[in-house]
Amino acid sequence: MKKLFLAAIAMLTLNAVQAQFQFDISAGGAIPQGTGAKGGATFSLEPQYGLPFGMVTGFRVEAALTARAYEASDGSTASANVAGLLSYLATSDYYPLHYLHIGFQPFVGGGTGVFNMAAASFSGNGSNDTQGTGATTKFGGMARSGFVIHHFRVAVEYNIIGATTQTITDNQGNKLGTVTSKNSYMGIKFGVVIGGGHRR
């Protein structure tokens, strides 16, 4: 009898823990900031855990492909070749209608973490010389809002990343000026939520 009771307690505990876990898989468009930037695609994976009072915390891993915008010190602009950006963010969302236990659940949230930007090349200062920017890592943040209908998720996310400035030179090594890369981008994403039994 004691073993049966302990087994029942263990099953109830396991079910309660599993009900709090969910896994978000999303993809969509990435819209970088700045004149000359070109949009691309984004894909993310985000395990999450449900907390009391409508809060959900998680960890987002996202890959984005965009052509970032560059502005030279002389005022000219250019776009780089398409390059990847990988981010790792701790996230938190709030569902204000969680207490209603309905299928439609709007949310607002955000996160902070690091953004790893791959090296990119472009033609700067109106010349034919191809310039390049090295891979960089920056600390940044993200704000988002959206909604979940049962297990279908729609979100608009704005990823806030500081600009990168570097010196450019010609083929002979002469300094031409500086260029500033605008790294922030917006993601419009659609996905599915697996699990999340705490929200009907």
Q: Characterize 105-117 residue by residue with b for buried, 16 or more Cβ atoms within 10 angstroms of its Cβ, and e for exposed.
A: bebebbbebebeb
Give the model's confidence band at 10: pLDDT under 50 very low, under 70 low, under 90 confident, else very high: very low
Q: Does residue 28 register a pLDDT over 90?
A: yes
How far apart CA 92 and CA 58 sit, in angstroms, is 6
Number of residues that make up the chain: 200
Is the model more confident about 103 or about 15? Answer: 103
**The Cα angle at residue 37 between residues 36 and 40, in degrees rounded to 5:** 145
Domains of the chain: 23-195 (2.40.160.20)
Q: What is the pLDDT of residues 116-147, one digit of tens each?
A: 988 766 655 444 555 666 678 999 999 999 99
Nearest residue to 148 via CA among 15, 29, 50: 50
Is the model more confident about 3 or about 194? Answer: 194
DSSP conformation class of 125: T
Nearest residue to 123 via CA among 111, 114, 135, 132: 132
**Predicted TM-score of the model (pTM):** 0.80
Give the model's confidence band at 14: pLDDT under 50 very low, under 70 low, under 90 confident, else very high: very low
Give the model's confidence band at 198: pLDDT under 50 very low, under 70 low, under 90 confident, else very high: very low
Q: What is the mean pLDDT of the chain?
A: 81
Q: Does residue 105 register a pLDDT over 70?
A: yes
Query: What does the pLDDT average to over 160-181?
Result: 75
Is the model more confident about 163 or about 69? Answer: 163
> Strand runs (DSSP E) across the chain, as ranges?
21-32, 38-50, 55-67, 69-72, 77-79, 83-94, 104-117, 120-123, 130-133, 136-149, 152-161, 164-169, 175-182, 185-195
How far apart CA 160 and CA 157 sit, in angstroms, is 10
